[in-house]
Amino acid sequence: MEEGEDGSIRVYSDNLLDITDLASDYDFHFRDADVLLDRKNWEEYRREVPRLIAELEAAEGIANELNEKYGTKIKLWSGEKPYLETSFDARGMSEGEKLKEIERHARIMLKARERVDEWVETVGVEMYRKMERSRMKMIKFRDDVISRLQDITKSEYGYGYNTTLLSGILWSVVGWNDKKNFNTNRGVWYVKETKEGIAIFSDNFETINAKNELEYNSIKLIGGVTAGDYEARIDSIFSSYDDVNERGWNIARPITQEEAMKHGRKTIINPQLLKDVAKQVSREFKIDVRLMKDKPVLMTEFKTKGMKQQEKVHEIERRTKALAEAWNRIKGLAKGVVDTKA
């Protein structure tokens, strides 16, 4: 509760929810945590985070219903951590009158909060159960995909996050740097599924000779961005963990443009070589591997209509072996080949 200079008194509820937490259930990340303050955006985000939008609509509907019944002005603030608020004009009121009106508004706010909690425990729970059944199947499927990728490449992977509205991405997996070892195979670095099919991408071949995290992310900063770097990550990829805090922990520090120019020595590989290796593994593994048009990244994709999850996993595994083989062959040819001018 607070009293403003204009003579109004405002009464607030505690936070109803955290939109970031609810969005993470859908593997969605809000770049702007307050984007839902604009009601016009609710419908746009309904497809990505349906339960979140439903809960905001329920809270606002309850507030409007109680306002009509009691003559209050309860509003929903729908930023990162939504809450209810109401206010009244206390100008000319005695302290006793203020306390009485505060108590009245607090009681109505309590009713609103109880109604919202009731919605969460009934309608919300049912929505969660339906979502959770589907979500658990997806988690098992992605864990299986990650396990197969790690067995083949020895790299590390994690869940990707959808950061773009209406991207059409159903799920994704993205590679993570093993800061102790940059010699792992990064032939598969990003996997995503849409309604049409599954696409698999290598890391950027300009990073193939990077010896450490500083070199690797410096190359990314000066143009070596690859598939998944912006689509699926929610943290900065242009950081170094070389700094140590007072507790002795390694901490992230953004890499400066000057450092990137100094340490970001790209490996320059002839595009024709990438195309030739892509043709070789395509022929040997009986799949289609091709070079992306705008960056030195190899990719392969396949349609998934009618395929069961295990069939998808098998096909991902088959294509991962092809991309991993391509990475190994190019790695062998690219040793010592760098752009010393960065």
Are 223 and 304 in a shared domain? yes
Are 188 and 315 in a shared domain? yes
Are 178 and 69 in a shared domain? no
Evaluate whether residue 148 is within a structural domain. Answer: no
Residues 143/188/201/224 CA torsion (nearest 10 deg) = 120
Are 101 and 232 in a shared domain? no
pLDDT of residue 104: 93
Are 54 and 109 in a shared domain? yes
Are 199 and 116 in a shared domain? no
Are 123 and 158 in a shared domain? no
Q: Using CA atoms, how far apart are residues 178 and 298, in angstroms rounded to an integer?
A: 21
Evaluate whether residue 22 is within a structural domain. Answer: yes
Cα–Cα distances in angstroms (integers) from residue 252 to residues 34, 129, 239, in the given order: 25, 38, 6
Strands 75-77 and 8-12: unpaired
Are 170 and 292 in a shared domain? yes
Evaluate whether residue 149 is within a structural domain. Answer: no
Evaluate whether residue 326 is within a structural domain. Answer: yes
- Final residue in a domain of this structure, among 133, 164, 179: 133
Full-model pTM: 0.74
Instruction: Please state the φ and ψ torsions of residue 44, each to the nearest 5 degrees.
Output: -65, -35
Going from the first residue of the chain to its last (342 residues), give the mean pLDDT of each consecutive group of 10, the final group possibly shorter. 81 90 83 89 88 93 95 93 91 89 92 93 86 82 95 92 76 82 88 94 93 88 84 72 69 83 89 95 96 94 95 97 96 66 40
Instruction: Please state the φ and ψ torsions of residue 174, each to the nearest 5 degrees.
Output: -130, 145
Are 238 and 167 in a shared domain? yes
pLDDT of residue 127: 84
- CA 205 remoteness from chain centre: 24
Are 67 and 189 in a shared domain? no
Are 109 and 39 in a shared domain? yes
- Final residue in a domain of this structure, among 99, 133, 167: 133
Rg (CA), the chain: 26
Angle at 57 between CA 132 and CA 161, to 5 degrees: 45
Residue ranges making up the domain that contains 215:
154-334
Handedness of CA 63, 68, 74, 78 (dihedral sign): positive
pLDDT of residue 342: 38
Evaluate whether residue 140 is within a structural domain. Answer: no
- Final residue in a domain of this structure, among 133, 167, 184: 133
Are 161 and 284 in a shared domain? yes
Q: Using CA atoms, how far apart are residues 46 and 55, in angstroms rounded to an integer?
A: 11
Evaluate whether residue 60 is within a structural domain. Answer: yes
Evaluate whether residue 21 is within a structural domain. Answer: yes
Beta-carbon contacts of residue 96 (< 8 Å; ≥ 6 apart): none
pLDDT of residue 214: 86
Evaluate whether residue 141 is within a structural domain. Answer: no
Total domains in the fold of the chain: 2
